[in-house]
Chains A and B, each alone.
Chain A
Amino acid sequence: MGRKGILVITALLIFAATDGGAAWASGSDHVVGLRRLSEREYRNSIADIFGKDIVVQGMFEPQVRMDGLLATSAAVLSVTPVGFDSFSKMADRIAIQITGDKFRGKLVPCTPKSTKGADDSCAATFFSHYGLLLFRRPLTADELKAQVALAHNMAQSTGDFYSGLRYGLAALLQSPNFVFRYEVAVPLGNKTYTLDPYSRATRLSYLMWDTTPDPELLRAADHGELNTTEGLDKQVSRLMASPRLDTGMRAFFTDMLELDNFDQVSKDSLIYPLWSVAIASSAREETLHSTIDLALHENGDMRDLMTTHKTFINRSLAVIYGVPFSFDSDWVPYETSPDSGRSGILTQVSMLSMFSHPGQSSPTRRGVALMDIFLCEPTPTPPNNVDFSQVNDPHGLKTKRERLMAHATNPLCASCHNHSDPIGLSLEGFDSIGERRLSENGQPIDLSATLQGKTFKDGTGLGQYLHDNPKYPSCLAHKLYAYAKGMDTQDVPTSAFSAAYKSFVGSGYRMRALIKGLVESPDFFNAPAPVAEASADHSKLALH
């Protein structure tokens, strides 16, 4: 963003600091959600506020998958000492770059009276500008005062105006107001609550673009436009029309499809010498690329994700898919042939390799994961004292199907294995790294399966089964809702969800209709009533 753009926002800010910031400062509001920024959200926010040239380097605390989504854990996790130390150092490194020689001309919106000492007026301009963008709301008068005072003292003790800015900016960047997204509720009357305009802007932006609200969205928030149907629709349409919707939905699908697992996938190089880190990252990209293409570029029917022959491949994947690679660009559209056994996302290398053992495919792991990801049906854990050796085959002569069928002799095992194994068994035509195979241990592989009364065969049949199963689009919609709100998928209230789902179904399962239906549904911004004041003693106990 150039200096001119900065000045425009700053002008807006001066207005906002006296008005829009009032809700936060007044104390009539309550924080009903507190979500720690993910690594992606943090990186995207910094790049959008300060430019892509600013290097963000450091460790981010891992998220934890809860009820199918990492996003859910963002509303539960805090910042550990290791995480804080990292945030703190990252903040300083970012602030050094922004206030340093190279970028200050572009990023600092005013020129100090002297570079050798404090200039409170220029500092105030700087902090109110970036404070709004970083906190996603205007700074309160007290906050601004504290920042200016810090910069003042630092400028005096170092004899450098820009050092003052650096330390002040570092403080903003490690503040909980930046590293957590606050969702603030204000009373709507009749004991109901709703998110304040800035929290609305924030929720929309991180859902749709995976980043901090842009100046236009903040402006709309400031003018109360996000609280009117027309104003909201205008902003949502703008966000939907942008190619940045790809970024937002990539983040969602990475979470929903559990593609983060790829960071920890190890394959046994003795058994699978073909496997490499390049294949792993390509497989992940293939899935995102083809999913986004179908969902957003083609505006396709999301059920077709299970059956489509269209995908994208690069040189690394061509090896696994057995395709002669003679393309001249990095990624090329590719259509799988009907006799390749591959159609839909379930037969992509990503899904096949992530849910396998290092040296062997696993029908159970594949089945359990896919039931959870696409049908929102988690499989219970097996009993503690189950003896799996009865299903083992010490001589390695049987196929996995034969081994797994031994579960059927035990009704306790069968109840869960009948639930998840059919999915996995129909994918046995692909090994641990997703290569096609027709036999195992010298025997042809039986790829037939029966699930919930329907019989099908192989990956293609499984894809068709899921395509025709209404639980799949419903699960997808539930996950998007839970992702947007940072809640458990199973806690998504049916009433609130129904309007969005209706528009999804009505559109022929178009992703865009789902997103729009969701964020424009009447209660998307409804907030729970604040929990009654806890005593100070209680919070102390919880800490110590």
Chain B
Amino acid sequence: MKLSRRGLLRGTFQGSAAVMAIPFLDCFLDNHGRALAATGQPIPTRFNTFFFGCGLTTQLWVPKKTGLDYEMTNQLKPLEAFRKKLNVFSGMRAIVDDSPNIQHWSGLACSNTGIPPTKVGRFDSKTIDLTIADVISRGARFKSVAAACTGDPKESYSSLGGANTLPAEPSPMALYTRLFGPGFQDPNKTDWKPDPQTMLQQSVLSVVADERKSLMKKLGPTDRTRMDQYFTSLRESELQIAAELRRPDIVAKVTIPPAPGEVPVNYSLPTLRNVTPLMARLGALAMATDQTRVFNLSVGQPVSTIFVPGDPFGYHITTHMEAIDPVLGYQPRTAQYNVYSMEFFAMMLKELDAIPEGDGTLLDHSLVFAFTDVSFAKIHSLDGLPLMLAGSASGRLKTGYHIAGNGSPVTRVGLTAQRAMGLSVAEWGSGSMKTTAAFTELLT
């Protein structure tokens, strides 16, 4: 077994941090080759989120049976090809306690922070993707990357806390440029050498970083927190440059395609069907080449304005305006929009599963956390939020199950995801959502 300098550095960082990352230590210990790429380098485990607005229709998506042999339901059908690599969680509750149920916001914030938000558009703590990125992203070029299939950079649910969210890349071209434009080090390039320009950039950043001390002492506590975020961001750029100066050591079996060019990006269904796979593919390639280990994809905002051409209302308004069909017992047009959400999710999984890695695929070395803002959108219900985890996180999570949460807090899924990603967190969430009960039956 070869110990890389990078691996050792990681170990040191993690040793001094509050949370320990186990997967990398596993990589050192693993002699079976399972987690190793062709070059003998460990394959990192990646974390993804997939956000879709307006929930699903309970009676159309929740299987009656639990466990492995649950029956395929109408709304899960688009995911059938990935059923063996997927866990679906029904009956999970976002419990807001004394905080308000902020429409189309509380549910998503509870799911990805474990804490009921106090204001719309703000997170009361760091979101799960960045919590995980703190542990798994060292060495990757970008700590995390977000993309919005509808073209609005604000449709990102990744945040260090507060009103700031990490802006999402708003088009395939923007995402491509960020990932594979200037600064990209192609791991397949044979004559690789560090770019001297990049080294000079380090000196620039260090001069800017030196301003920190004199600035901080002039600030009040709130602005100090904001300035801290600025300097944390600067630190991330330093790490990014450091990554760009190292020979990339993950040799992926992928080739980077030429730039996608400008394509239409908007809220209409046909456009989204074109853009979503493009975005997902670029994200998958970014992870395969270790540009990032955390990728967040969103299809629309919680108040989803996705629309089928010819429908004057669009998704969100339909969820509220459409009557429940007395015979069917649900809202048929809303239900169709729900299915589109699952089709988009399937598009993302397909791209992840299309990239071979080690003895499996990129999806097998990933965990994808799919979440939404409501269960029954019509009444903004937070009971029974549909949550899913796809991929086995390099074998750390058993897959193929339908788990019935029976009203237990949504935080159990987030906690399970963090454990599967190797974080040694004992509990997660606040108030009634504070939990220590990960779904241990799924963890290997």
Interface residues of A (CB under 8 A from B): 27, 29-32, 34, 59, 61-62, 64, 66, 73, 76-85, 88-89, 92, 142-143, 146-147, 150, 153-154, 157-158, 163, 167, 170-171, 174-177, 180, 184, 263-264, 266, 268-271, 357-360, 381-382, 384-389, 391-392, 394, 432, 530-531, 534, 538-539, 542-543
Residues of B within 8 A of A29 (CB): 218
Residues of B within 8 A of A81 (CB): 142-144, 166, 232-233, 236-237
- Is B208 an interface residue when CB atoms closer than 8 A count as contact? yes
Bound CA–CA A150/B229 (angstroms): 24
Residue ID in chain A nearest B130 by CB atoms:
A81
Residue ID in chain B nearest A385 by CB atoms:
B379
Pairwise interchain contact B312-A388, C-beta atoms closer than 8 A: no
- Is B245 an interface residue when CB atoms closer than 8 A count as contact? no
Residues of A within 8 A of B30 (CB): none
- Is B378 an interface residue when CB atoms closer than 8 A count as contact? yes
**Interface with A: B33-41, B320-328, B345-353, B393-401, which one?**
B320-328
Bound CA–CA A127/B96 (angstroms): 53
Residues of B within 8 A of A530 (CB): 220
**Interface with A: B87-95, B199-207, B413-421, which one?**
B199-207
Pairwise interchain contact B163-A73, C-beta atoms closer than 8 A: yes
- Is B70 an interface residue when CB atoms closer than 8 A count as contact? no
Pairwise interchain contact B310-A30, C-beta atoms closer than 8 A: no
Bound CA–CA A538/B228 (angstroms): 11
With A176-B211, A384-B101 known as contacts, the answer to whether A268 contacts B225 (CB < 8 A) is: no
- Is B66 an interface residue when CB atoms closer than 8 A count as contact? no
Bound CA–CA A385/B226 (angstroms): 37
Per-position contact with A for B195-231: 1 when CB-CB < 8 Å, else 0?
A: 0000011011101101100111111111111111110
- Is B22 an interface residue when CB atoms closer than 8 A count as contact? no
Residue ID in chain B nearest A177 by CB atoms:
B211
- Is B274 an interface residue when CB atoms closer than 8 A count as contact? no
Bound CA–CA A269/B308 (angstroms): 11
Give the 4 A-B residue pairs with the shortest CB-CB distance, closest first: A359-B312, A531-B220, A534-B221, A84-B233
Pairwise interchain contact A84-B236, C-beta atoms closer than 8 A: yes
Residue ID in chain A nearest B226 by CB atoms:
A78
Pairwise interchain contact A31-B223, C-beta atoms closer than 8 A: yes
Interface size class of B (residues with CB under 8 A): 35 or more
Pairwise interchain contact A171-B237, C-beta atoms closer than 8 A: no
Residue ID in chain A nearest B182 by CB atoms:
A89
Pairwise interchain contact B233-A359, C-beta atoms closer than 8 A: no
17 A–B contacts from the bound complex (CB under 8 Å): A30-B218, A31-B218, A34-B226, A64-B121, A64-B154, A64-B163, A79-B229, A80-B233, A81-B143, A81-B144, A81-B233, A167-B204, A175-B211, A268-B307, A392-B321, A531-B222, A534-B221
Residues of A within 8 A of B204 (CB): 92, 150, 167, 170-171, 174
Bound CA–CA A352/B387 (angstroms): 38
Pairwise interchain contact A62-B153, C-beta atoms closer than 8 A: yes
Pairwise interchain contact B200-A31, C-beta atoms closer than 8 A: no
- Is B43 an interface residue when CB atoms closer than 8 A count as contact? no
Bound CA–CA A76/B222 (angstroms): 9
Pairwise interchain contact B164-A539, C-beta atoms closer than 8 A: no
- Is B165 an interface residue when CB atoms closer than 8 A count as contact? yes
CB A368 to nearest CB in B, in angstroms, measures 13
* Number of A-B pairs, beta carbon distance below 8 Å: 203
Residue ID in chain B nearest A535 by CB atoms:
B221
With A266-B268, A543-B229 known as contacts, the answer to whether A82 contacts B166 (CB < 8 A) is: yes
Among B154, B215, B220, B233, the residue within 8 A (CB) of A32 is B220
With A77-B164, A543-B229 known as contacts, the answer to whether A388 contacts B214 (CB < 8 A) is: no
Pairwise interchain contact A389-B323, C-beta atoms closer than 8 A: yes
Among B208, B216, B223, B309, the residue within 8 A (CB) of A270 is B309
Residues of A within 8 A of B324 (CB): 389
Pairwise interchain contact B312-A271, C-beta atoms closer than 8 A: yes
Among A78, A157, A389, the residue within 8 A (CB) of B230 is A78
Residues of B within 8 A of A84 (CB): 230, 233-234, 236-237
Pairwise interchain contact A388-B378, C-beta atoms closer than 8 A: yes
Residues of B within 8 A of A175 (CB): 208, 211
Bound CA–CA A264/B170 (angstroms): 11
Pairwise interchain contact B167-A61, C-beta atoms closer than 8 A: yes
Residues of B within 8 A of A542 (CB): 221, 224-225, 228
Residues of B within 8 A of A266 (CB): 266-268, 305, 307
Residues of A within 8 A of B230 (CB): 78-79, 84, 176, 180
With A268-B312, A543-B232 known as contacts, the answer to whether A176 contacts B215 (CB < 8 A) is: yes
Pairwise interchain contact A268-B310, C-beta atoms closer than 8 A: yes
- Is B85 an interface residue when CB atoms closer than 8 A count as contact? no
Bound CA–CA A385/B381 (angstroms): 8
- Is B432 an interface residue when CB atoms closer than 8 A count as contact? no
Residues of A within 8 A of B323 (CB): 389, 392, 394
Bound CA–CA A352/B151 (angstroms): 23
Pairwise interchain contact B165-A80, C-beta atoms closer than 8 A: yes
Pairwise interchain contact A269-B309, C-beta atoms closer than 8 A: yes
- Is B240 an interface residue when CB atoms closer than 8 A count as contact? yes
With A271-B312, A357-B312, A359-B313 known as contacts, the answer to whether A531 contacts B268 (CB < 8 A) is: no
Bound CA–CA A381/B104 (angstroms): 11
Bound CA–CA A271/B311 (angstroms): 8
Residue ID in chain B nearest A31 by CB atoms:
B218
- Is B317 an interface residue when CB atoms closer than 8 A count as contact? yes
Bound CA–CA A154/B229 (angstroms): 28
Bound CA–CA A142/B210 (angstroms): 11
Pairwise interchain contact B268-A88, C-beta atoms closer than 8 A: no
Residues of B within 8 A of A270 (CB): 309-310
Bound CA–CA A240/B391 (angstroms): 62
Residues of A within 8 A of B144 (CB): 81
Which among B143, B144, B307 has the highest number of chain A CB atoms within 10 Å?
B307
Bound CA–CA A62/B167 (angstroms): 7
CB A249 to nearest CB in B, in angstroms, measures 26
Among A61, A143, A388, the residue within 8 A (CB) of B321 is A388
Pairwise interchain contact A79-B233, C-beta atoms closer than 8 A: yes
Residues of A within 8 A of B379 (CB): 384-387
Pairwise interchain contact A538-B310, C-beta atoms closer than 8 A: no
Bound CA–CA A269/B207 (angstroms): 52
With A80-B164, A387-B378, A388-B320 known as contacts, the answer to whether A153 contacts B203 (CB < 8 A) is: yes
Bound CA–CA A534/B311 (angstroms): 54
Residues of B within 8 A of A30 (CB): 218-220
Per-position contact with A for B114-157: 1 when CB-CB < 8 Å, else 0?
A: 00000001000000000000000000001110100001111000
Residue ID in chain A nearest B158 by CB atoms:
A80
- Is B103 an interface residue when CB atoms closer than 8 A count as contact? yes
- Is B78 an interface residue when CB atoms closer than 8 A count as contact? no
Pairwise interchain contact B321-A389, C-beta atoms closer than 8 A: yes
Residues of B within 8 A of A76 (CB): 162-163, 226
Residues of B within 8 A of A157 (CB): 200
Residue ID in chain B nearest A403 by CB atoms:
B321
With A32-B220, A394-B323, A534-B221 known as contacts, the answer to whether A357 contacts B203 (CB < 8 A) is: no
Residues of A within 8 A of B266 (CB): 266
- Is B355 an interface residue when CB atoms closer than 8 A count as contact? no
- Is B160 an interface residue when CB atoms closer than 8 A count as contact? yes
Pairwise interchain contact B215-A268, C-beta atoms closer than 8 A: no
Among A180, A357, A543, the residue within 8 A (CB) of B314 is A357
Other A-B pairs beyond A34-B219, A81-B237, A167-B204, 10, CB < 8 Å: A27-B218, A31-B223, A76-B163, A80-B164, A81-B232, A157-B200, A176-B211, A264-B151, A270-B310, A384-B379
Residues of B within 8 A of A387 (CB): 378-379
With A29-B218, A61-B167, A266-B266 known as contacts, the answer to whether A543 contacts B225 (CB < 8 A) is: yes
With A80-B160, A268-B310 known as contacts, the answer to whether A85 contacts B237 (CB < 8 A) is: yes
- Is B174 an interface residue when CB atoms closer than 8 A count as contact? yes
Residues of A within 8 A of B210 (CB): 146
Bound CA–CA A276/B356 (angstroms): 43
Among B182, B208, B268, B321, the residue within 8 A (CB) of A174 is B208
